């Protein structure tokens, strides 16, 4: 079933100007001074900043992001601390995200955080359910917003938490945020030395904490409040967020492939301080499936909001934030996300689109009737369709180049390096050429080379799918400011060429084919009736690429399974035997521009032991071991 839409809070203000939730009839922070409460109760109550001194990473979980005050105060403390951890992860649950426009008004009350609050609102996510990862301070401060019901968000979270900020509304008004089951889940997520702090000292809350396994104590409260609570696990246990595979002792990796997958994972690892060698068999990056002049990036919607749709939506939204961050850091990818129209296939589909668009905020998708769609495109359309204001087109080779550049000195690109085989010796992965000569070795290897991974990992179900894009010279089609799609897609002119595609064929011939140009022109006729007139398939140029597809059309991101290890009858993904130090980012199919950024972040987070940026069921949906586990359960 589709997740319920998110609704912003009904805000009003107490007589002294303190923001208040009309839904829960409670204020967002102490009237005596919000920043002071944040520092006294949540930072001080968790022994911060002292406890994070010298740590590589520190993870905080807040149950109720609200105005973002506690996050801003924590970020400010991190910036001011010379002994700060190398990476601060802040996870926060929120059911009713405040719109950025209202946050701007609320943040005026805290001029000391102006620089930080401006950055937060600039990257504020579209309010749709799911996890949203935002990065600040060059990726060293990471905010992951978990939007939705607290219990469901924490059930899906995979992390090891060092400190808990318990800051829900009054437990008499919002008891779900203070329940024993929710605190039990916190205990499962807690690192052995985790602490907690809260302003709330209600007896029911203390009992729920004890029931969940926490020991608490009272401390002096903030301002006029007599008491507050701090606590820690009474009997620390193994946290559920422990990585499934041991973390490497040496942060040095080889990445095969410089398409969207390889470039993205190389950047994510290099930014975390890994030394990364990227090997490419061609003389330049992005010469295969990621070599098209232009491709489109849009979300995928479904009636039941299934796993594929949720994953696609999360990846699409993260891609836009990732590209914006590259812009700010001086590596702007070539793209234009100024809106895309996805036209309906027929009147019945049009009616479904109209209904589905109502489930989402207008900043994510709206439905345009036929006349509105034609006016937006500047050419008549046969039907209306979804308008995605944040979608558009990008130049994949340019994106890959910028990602590799952003890796800086930690990333080394090695072109003309064709890998014929891989082998593991003495805890190192060795890459060999066709003559058996050693090309490179490292303790960690990431296969991100699309169909090129098939001979290196033949147990993975990767299938090459031929796609031919037709190049239509500018001037032969109506001028377009926006990309559009139906069964196929059409981009505005890029370097004087409209990209029209794409075919979907199950063979490995690389030649241009007139019949596939003709098929693309049929797709054009469905999108812009009459625009195909006068275009001869035999006169068109184009490009052929081979997507690497999986049986379920979802990407692979994670540690690769050991194909030879025996499996227990009750084997699960968490216990599936893996090949040490071997990972994959594969199977992006025809959606590489959408999948790559967040799939790479998810993989890098697994490799590094960071909190994961996606819900647990979405991580499982990308796990490369899912195919072997499914076959095992079917008795194969």
- DSSP annotation string for 150-174: HHHHHHH----EEEEEE--S-TTT-
Take residue 319 and report the two structure tokens written for it: 């891609």
Going by C-alpha positions, the residue among 531, 197, 601 that lies closest to residue 380 is 531
Is the distance from CB of 473 to CB of 496 less than 8 angstroms?
Answer: yes
Q: 260 and 155, same structural domain?
A: no
Tokens 């190049």 sit on residue? 471
Domain annotation covers residue 333? no
Q: Indicate the number of domains in the chain.
A: 3
Read off the pTM: 0.95
Domain annotation covers residue 523? no
Q: 197 and 77, same structural domain?
A: yes
Q: CA–CA separation, 216 vs 146, rounded Å?
A: 26
- What phi and psi values does residue 354 have, to the nearest 5 degrees? -60, -45
**Exposure letters 256-277 (e unless 16+ CB within 10 A, then b):** bbbbbbbbbbbbbbbbbebebb
With 80 as the cut, is the pLDDT of residue 553 above it? yes
State the CB neighbour count (10 A cutoff) for residue 517. 25
Is the distance from CB of 289 to CB of 549 less than 8 angstroms?
Answer: no
Going by C-alpha positions, the residue among 578, 542, 224, 255 that lies closest to residue 417 is 255
With 70 as the cut, is the pLDDT of residue 405 above it? yes
Is the distance from CB of 340 to CB of 480 less than 8 angstroms?
Answer: no
Q: 264 and 132, same structural domain?
A: no
Is the distance from CB of 42 to CB of 397 less than 8 angstroms?
Answer: no
Is the distance from CB of 276 to CB of 406 less than 8 angstroms?
Answer: no
pLDDT tens track for 44-64: 999 999 999 999 999 999 999
Q: 50 and 189, same structural domain?
A: yes
Mean pLDDT of the region 445-452 = 97
Domain annotation covers residue 352? yes
pLDDT of residue 245: 44
Q: CA–CA separation, 350 vs 367, rounded Å?
A: 9
Q: CA–CA separation, 5 vs 114, rounded Å?
A: 30
Q: 357 and 277, same structural domain?
A: no
pLDDT of residue 243: 44
Domain annotation covers residue 545? no
Of the pLDDT bands very low, low, confident and very high (cuts 50, 70, 90), residue 241 is very low
pLDDT tens track for 258-278: 999 999 999 999 999 999 999
Take residue 424 and report the two structure tokens written for it: 């593991």
State the CB neighbour count (10 A cutoff) for residue 579. 19
Cβ contacts of 93 within 8 Å, gap of 6 or more: 61, 62, 63, 64, 65, 146, 148, 150, 153, 154
**Reduced DSSP (H G I as helix, E B as strand, rest coil) percent helix, strand, coil of the chain, to 5:** 35, 25, 40
Tokens 């590094």 sit on residue? 608
Residues in the chain, total: 636
Q: CA–CA separation, 471 vs 500, rounded Å?
A: 6
Mean pLDDT of the region 65-79 = 96
DSSP annotation string for 392-431: EEE-HHHHHHHHHHHTGGGEEEE-S----EEEEETTEEEE
| pLDDT cut 70: percent of the chain above it | 95
Q: CA–CA separation, 276 vs 278, rounded Å?
A: 6
List strands edge to edge, sheet with 275-279: 411-414, 275-279, 252-256, 444-447, 578-586, 556-561
pLDDT of residue 176: 86
Q: 277 and 204, same structural domain?
A: no
pLDDT of residue 247: 57
Is the distance from CB of 94 to CB of 63 less than 8 angstroms?
Answer: no
More confident residue, 27 or 528: 528
Q: CA–CA separation, 383 vs 528, rounded Å?
A: 10
Q: CA–CA separation, 413 vs 399, rounded Å?
A: 15
Mean pLDDT of the region 56-75 = 96
Domain annotation covers residue 481? no
Domain annotation covers residue 243? no
Q: CA–CA separation, 135 vs 133, rounded Å?
A: 7
Q: Which residues form the domain of 593?
A: 252-289+397-462+551-633
pLDDT tens track for 333-369: 999 999 999 999 999 999 999 999 999 999 999 999 9
- ∠ CA 520-343-7, nearest 5°, is 140
Q: 50 and 158, same structural domain?
A: yes
Mean pLDDT of the region 30-38 = 78
pLDDT tens track for 111-160: 999 999 999 999 999 999 999 999 999 999 999 999 999 999 999 999 99
Going by C-alpha positions, the residue among 82, 127, 80, 86 that lies closest to residue 103 is 127
List the CATH number of the domain containing 597. 3.50.50.60
Half-sphere exposure of 410 (CA within 13 A, CB side): 18
With 50 as the cut, is the pLDDT of residue 23 above it? yes
With 80 as the cut, is the pLDDT of residue 91 above it? yes
Domain annotation covers residue 613? yes
Q: CA–CA separation, 366 vs 8, rounded Å?
A: 18
List the CATH number of the domain containing 49. 3.40.50.150
Of the pLDDT bands very low, low, confident and very high (cuts 50, 70, 90), residue 621 is very high
- What phi and psi values does residue 99 have, to the nearest 5 degrees? -60, 150
DSSP 8-state class, residue 269: H
Q: 28 and 94, same structural domain?
A: yes
Of the pLDDT bands very low, low, confident and very high (cuts 50, 70, 90), residue 96 is very high
- What phi and psi values does residue 440 have, to the nearest 5 degrees? -170, 160
Take residue 175 and report the two structure tokens written for it: 């008891």
- Give the helix/strand (H/E) hosting 60: strand 57-63
Q: 109 and 32, same structural domain?
A: yes
Query: Which is it for strands 227-233 and 438-442: parallel, antiparallel or unpaired?
Result: unpaired
pLDDT of residue 174: 85
pLDDT of residue 171: 84
pLDDT tens track for 164-197: 999 987 888 888 889 999 999 999 999 999 999 9
Of the pLDDT bands very low, low, confident and very high (cuts 50, 70, 90), residue 26 is low
Q: 214 and 77, same structural domain?
A: yes
Q: 407 and 372, same structural domain?
A: no
DSSP annotation string for 516-547: HHHHHHHHHHHHSTTTTTT--GGG-EEEEEEE
Whether the upstream peptide bond of residue 49 has omega within 30° of 0, thus cis, is: yes
Of the pLDDT bands very low, low, confident and very high (cuts 50, 70, 90), residue 306 is very high
Mean pLDDT of the region 415-439 = 96
Domain annotation covers residue 299? no
With 50 as the cut, is the pLDDT of residue 244 above it? no
Q: 77 and 160, same structural domain?
A: yes
Going by C-alpha positions, the residue among 522, 555, 520 that lies closest to residue 447 is 555
pLDDT of residue 242: 46
Least confident of 15-29, 119-133, 283-297: 15-29
């Amino acid at each position: 079933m589709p997740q319920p839409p998110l609704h912003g809070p009904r805000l009003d203000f107490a007589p002294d100007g303190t923001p208040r939730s009309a839904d829960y009839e409670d204020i967002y922070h102490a009237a005596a001074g919000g920043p002071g409460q944040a520092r006294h109760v949540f930072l001080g109550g968790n022994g911060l900043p002292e406890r994070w001194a010298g740590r590589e990473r520190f993870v905080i979980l807040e149950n109720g992001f609200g105005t973002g005050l506690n996050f801003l105060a924590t970020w400010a403390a991190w910036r001011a601390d010379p002994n700060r951890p190398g990476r601060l992860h802040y996870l926060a649950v929120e059911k009713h995200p405040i719109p950025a426009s209202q946050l701007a008004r609320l943040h005026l009350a805290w001029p000391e955080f102006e620089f930080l609050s401006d950055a937060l609102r600039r990257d504020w996510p579209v309010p749709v359910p799911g996890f949203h990862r935002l990065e600040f301070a060059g990726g060293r401060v990471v905010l992951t917003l978990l939007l939705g019901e607290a219990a469901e968000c924490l059930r899906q979270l995979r992390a090891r938490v060092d400190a808990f900020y318990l800051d829900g509304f009054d437990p008499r008004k919002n008891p779900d945020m203070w329940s024993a089951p929710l605190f039990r889940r916190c205990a499962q997520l807690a690192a052995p030395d985790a602490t907690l702090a809260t302003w709330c000292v209600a007896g029911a809350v203390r009992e729920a904490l004890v029931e969940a396994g926490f020991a608490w104590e009272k401390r002096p409260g903030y301002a006029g409040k007599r008491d507050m609570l701090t606590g820690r696990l009474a009997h620390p246990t193994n946290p559920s967020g422990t990585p499934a595979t041991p973390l490497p002792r040496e942060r040095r990796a080889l990445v095969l492939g410089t398409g969207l997958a390889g470039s993205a994972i190389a950047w994510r690892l290099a930014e975390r301080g890994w030394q990364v060698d990227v090997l490419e068999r061609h003389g330049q990056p992005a010469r295969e499936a990621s070599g098209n002049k232009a491709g489109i990036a849009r979300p995928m919607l479904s009636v039941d909001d299934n796993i594929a749709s949720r994953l696609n939506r999360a990846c699409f939204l993260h891609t836009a934030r990732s590209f914006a961050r590259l812009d700010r850091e001086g590596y702007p990818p070539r793209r234009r996300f100024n809106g895309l129209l996805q036209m309906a296939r027929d009147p019945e589909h049009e009616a479904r689109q109209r209904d589905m668009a109502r489930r989402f905020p207008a900043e994510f998708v709206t439905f345009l009737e036929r006349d509105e769609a034609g006016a937006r495109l500047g050419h008549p359309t046969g039907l209306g369709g979804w308008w995605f204001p944040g979608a558009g087109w990008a130049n994949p080779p340019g994106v890959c180049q910028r990602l590799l550049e952003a890796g800086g000195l930690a990333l080394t690109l090695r072109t003309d390096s064709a890998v014929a085989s891989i082998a593991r010796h003495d805890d190192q992965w060795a890459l060999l050429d066709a003559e058996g000569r050693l090309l490179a070795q490292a303790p960690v290897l990431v296969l991100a080379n699309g169909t090129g991974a098939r001979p290196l990992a033949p147990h993975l179900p990767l299938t090459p799918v031929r796609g031919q894009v037709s190049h239509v010279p500018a001037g032969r089609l109506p001028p377009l400011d926006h990309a559009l799609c139906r069964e196929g897609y059409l981009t505005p002119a890029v370097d004087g060429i409209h990209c029209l595609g794409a075919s979907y064929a199950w063979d490995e011939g690389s030649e241009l084919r007139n019949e596939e140009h003709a098929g693309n022109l049929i797709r054009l006729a469905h999108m812009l009736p009459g625009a195909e007139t006068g275009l001869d398939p035999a006169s068109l140029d184009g490009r052929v690429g081979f997507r690497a597809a999986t049986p379920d059309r979802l990407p692979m991101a994670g540690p690769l399974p050991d194909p030879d290890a025996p499996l227990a009858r009750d084997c699960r993904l968490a216990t599936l035997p893996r090949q040490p130090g071997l990972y994959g980012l594969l199977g992006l199919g025809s959606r590489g521009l959408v999948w790559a950024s967040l799939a790479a972040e998810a993989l890098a987070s697994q490799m590094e032991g960071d909190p994961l940026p996606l819900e647990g069921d979405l991580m499982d949906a990308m796990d490369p071991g899912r195919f072997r586990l499914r076959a095992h359960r079917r008795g194969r």
